[in-house]
């Protein structure tokens, strides 16, 4: 799906900022910070960018990751938007890897955590966060070349 189709399916108006931000996520292989997006979209207002990220989070187009330094990063969701809280947390339970060399954070979509049913029955799980730290495959390849 392209940028415009994705925004329409999420029920969002097609503003230039929304299209540019979503395109930046679709082009990126890594999680992006607010600052990363500001640099990519050099003429974007900070407040408008915060609002756009908030709307994308609410519409389940992106998800938030807290890196080891405590900074918020955002990554494109690889699934259709959810309609229920239960669906949301079933699909946002993958791990992320932060590389200690290049500092990039990436989704590890095939590393899922199964939340025990007794927790789901007795609690409302609002977030699952698993952050792996190490060296990404690109940096390992680069280090081996030297």
pTM to 2 decimal places = 0.80
3-145 CATH fold: Arc Repressor Mutant, subunit A (1.10.10)
- Grade residue 78 by pLDDT with cuts at 50, 70 and 90: confident
Element (H, E) at 131: strand 130-134
Span 97-134, pLDDT tens digits:
999 999 999 988 888 778 888 888 888 877 778 899 99
What is the DSSP code (8-state) at residue 82? Answer: P
How far apart (Å, rounded) are the C-alpha atoms in residues 40 and 22? 12
* Domain extents in the chain: 3-145
When pLDDT is averaged across residues 82-96 and rounded to a whole number, the result is: 60
Q: Are 29 and 106 in contact (CB under 8 A)?
A: yes
Cα Dmax for the chain: 53
CA-based nearest residue to 48, from 16, 76, 71: 16
- Grade residue 84 by pLDDT with cuts at 50, 70 and 90: very low
CA distances from 35 to 38, 65, 73, 105 (A): 5, 14, 10, 14
pLDDT exceeds 70 at position 83:
no
How far apart (Å, rounded) are the C-alpha atoms in residues 17 and 133? 32
């Amino acid at each position: 799906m392209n940028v415009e189709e994705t925004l329409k399916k999420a029920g969002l108006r097609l503003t230039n900022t929304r299209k540019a931000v979503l395109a930046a996520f679709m082009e990126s292989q890594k999680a992006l910070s607010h600052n990363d997006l500001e640099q990519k979209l050099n003429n974007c207002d900070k407040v408008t960018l915060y609002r756009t990220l908030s709307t994308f989070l609410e519409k389940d187009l992106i998800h938030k990751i807290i890196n080891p330094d405590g900074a918020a990063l955002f990554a494109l969701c690889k699934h259709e938007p959810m309609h229920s809280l239960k669906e949301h947390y079933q699909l946002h339970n993958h791990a992320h890897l932060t590389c200690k060399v290049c500092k990039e954070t990436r989704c590890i979509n095939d590393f899922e955590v199964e939340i025990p049913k007794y927790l789901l029955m007795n609690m409302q799980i609002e977030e699952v966060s698993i952050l792996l730290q190490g060296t990404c495959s690109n940096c390992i390849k680069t280090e081996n070349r030297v």
